[in-house]
Structures are given as C-alpha cells and as structure tokens.
Amino acid sequence: MTTSPPQPPQGPYSGQPAGYGPPQQQQFPQYSQPGQQPGQPGEQQYAGQPGGQQYQQPYGGQQAGQTYPQDGGQQYPPQGQYPDQQYQGQQQYQQGQSYPQQGHAPQGQMACRFCGGYPAAEATVRGHQGLIIIMRFLKLQGPFCRTCGIASVRDMTAKSLWQGWWGIGSSIINPITMLLNIGPMQKFKGLPEPTPGQGRPMDPGKPLFQRPAILGLLLPIALIAAIVVVNLNSTESKAKIGACVVNQGTSANPDVKVVDCTSSEAEYKIVDKIDDSTDDSQCGENAEASYVYRSGSTKYTLCLTPVK
C-alpha cells in the first residue's frame, strides 16, 4: 500500500506554506478633522504605510479660532503666531511698546559715554593747570549721566583749585574756567537717577567744600591781600602833601619812607608832589630839597623842606 507524505497547509500564495509570505494588510482607522474629508489640506500621506494610511499633521491645517475635541477643547492661535523658542520664558510686552535691553538706551535718548547709563546730557567739563611759564587747558566731553557728570565736575574743579594758579596768566584764566563748570553742573543735577548701563559709573565723592582742595581758594586770596598791603604801605600811596619822610638810604641811592611827623625820624616834610614827572625844577621856592622816583611807568617828584 502506497501512502503520500503529509503536505503542509497551503497559503493564499502559490508555493508558500501557510503562515509564510507577505502578511495580511491591517486596516487602520483614518483620522481627519471634524467636518474635513480625507485628502483635504492638512493631511499627509506617508509612503509605505499599509492601506495608504493618512495622518493629520500637527496644527498644520487647523484654522484660527477653531477648537478641537481631541485636545480638550483648546483653541489654537492662527498659524505663524506661535512664539519663537528664544523668547520662551521672557516677559511679554504690550504691542507697540518697546523695552530696551539692559545697558542700551532707548531710541531717542543718549547714553553716558563712561558707564552706558541713561538718560544722559551733552556737556563739556573744563579744567586748568598753570605751569608758571606755560599753561594747559583741560576738557572732558560727554554725554554724561547724572552720576558721571557730577563726578567729572567735582574732579576737574578740585584739580583746578590747586593746580590752576601757578602763573600770571593762569591766575586770571583759572577762575573763569571753574565758573564755566557751573552750567554743566546744573544740567547734570537736573537729570534723574540713571538706569544702570554696561559699565561702572564714576564715584562722585565728597562735595567740593568738603575736600582739602577747597583750600586752593586761599592762594589767590592771599596773593590779592599781599598786593593790597604792599600798595597801601608804599611811599607812592602815602606820599601826600603835608606828610613827613625820612631817607634811609644815601644821597646817591636814596630810600625815602613816609613816617609820622611827630616821630624823631622825620627829616623832611612834603610841600608839593608832581605826578608823572621827574623834573624837580618845577618845585617852588619853598622846597629846599627834592626826591625823584621812577620805576617802570610810575614816576613822580617830591618837593621837600626840612622839619623844624
């Protein structure tokens, strides 16, 4: 008796046993937006997916202001209005209002050239140095914020108070230079406290009247006082008709000083004084002696008679 060996079960494909060959295609449900037919914009077909499965692109074709049940009723903004990643977590500003970054002045305002704070004002702070024969003119240009401006005026003026007097020309120019800083100082004091910038502001320090440099004002005061005292005690200012003098020098090199007529030192009495002249012949008959003085553009003649 002849028997045939058992044959494996045949699958739907010829020559392939059951359980082998391409798997049977699985049907997936198709997803689409409510009220949208498959194939409309917003859907994308992926090649190689069984059955031409269609998947919805996230937010790709959603309309502004439309709610979606699968997202819990969330309403999405119009496409293109999602915030960029670089602004995530930053404060949202009102539309039409600009907020500068720290260290940058807003449009239309100047920033301090030293610390970057704002607001700032344009001004020039000046100083002076007298070097006996030569002189130096110093200046510092802005714009300055309130803090750096006040610090600059105080620093430049303090240096001028003790460096600006050493010279005949400097003794005249230095006071004018310091007075020119009053205008910028008032401008800086009118500014509000600055918004911090990228740099460190200057240190205003103590006011001028609390600094040792203020003693520099005594230099011109002492100089003026010395000139006044010398002029008041000079023979020229005291040599008037009726005053008495004494010659502390010699006949060839006289040194005439005015003394009290009641003093034992009194030798001669002034009977006449001729200004701007060295001609003693103009003295009258009452004069028995004369004294001629000349120094630079100053000259005069004293007509004298002995004290009895």
Residue 290 to residue 235: CA distance in whole angstroms: 14
The tens digit of pLDDT for each residue in 28-47 reads: 455 455 555 554 544 444 44
The confidence score (pLDDT) of residue 55 equals: 45
Rg of the chain over all Cα atoms, to the nearest angstrom: 52
Rounded CA-CA distance 151/128 in Å is 17
Residue 205: what pLDDT? Answer: 94
Report, as ranges of residue numbers, the positions in the chain whose pLDDT lies below 50. 1-3, 11-21, 28, 31, 39, 41-65, 67-72, 76, 79-102
Q: What pLDDT was estimated at residue 281? A: 84
For residues 177 and 216, give the distance between their C-alpha atoms in angstroms, rounded to a whole number.
Answer: 15
| pLDDT, position 31 | 47
Give first-to-last CA distance, the chain, whole Å.
193
DSSP per-residue letters across 210-240: GSGGGGGGHHHHHHHHHHHHHHHTSHHHH--
Tell whether pTM > 0.85.
no
Distance CA(55)–CA(62), nearest Å, equals 14
Q: Which two tokens stand for residue 126?
A: 């000046």
Distance CA 307, CA 45 (A): 137
Tell me the H-state helices in the chain. Answer: 146-163, 168-180, 182-189, 218-232, 235-238
Consecutive H or E run containing 269: strand 268-275
